Amino acid sequence: MPTGNGARTSKCSGSMNKSWQIKTTTTTTTQRTFPMTTKTLTLSTILEDNYDLEDDCVAWFVEHYNDNPEDLCNYQTSDFVNLDMCYTKDLINFYNSNEESVLSWCDQLCDAYGYTSRLQLLEGQTVEDPDDFATGLVNAAMTYLGCELYRLVEDA
């Protein structure tokens, strides 16, 4: 029910059947507009000149971090399994669906850090079967890529 000063009142039932009257007022805020030339920094805009956005692993990060690329900072202190994909079944499915991309990023990681093989990359981890190997490779590749992408976000 509008009243004379632009405020409206409504009745709400409180506890113990008491009737409460709430008065609300309408306020107008001024919004600041920015020129159309301002480019929003999404992960895809940051990566478009440096990375293949069609790469399966890169596409996963764009899908999950596009609107908040600064959240990739968590990769400085943690890994893919603890941040984004903690279930072994999901890691195995990710590997099976994106094997070529995962192995490519593992190879780049090996080159960057001087590992001579993917097996050496996983040295010290428990690898009892091929699924353990696959999940370890996904974690290593995606953690490495997450760190690399965050470096680009920091520089943007």
Give the tens place of pLDDT for each residue, 82-110: 999 999 999 999 999 999 999 999 999 99
**Residue 63 contacts residue 49 (beta carbons within 8 Å):** no
Rounded to 5, what percent of the chain is helix, strand, coil? 55, 10, 35
User: Quick one: which of 156, 147, 142 has its CA closest to 72?
Assistant: 147
**Residue 66 contacts residue 42 (beta carbons within 8 Å):** yes
Higher pLDDT, 55 or 26: 55
| Domain locations in the chain as residue ranges | 35-155
Give the tens place of pLDDT for each residue, 24-53: 333 333 343 334 444 568 999 999 998 999
pTM, 2 dp: 0.74
| Predicted confidence (pLDDT) at residue 126 exceeds the cutoff of 60 | yes
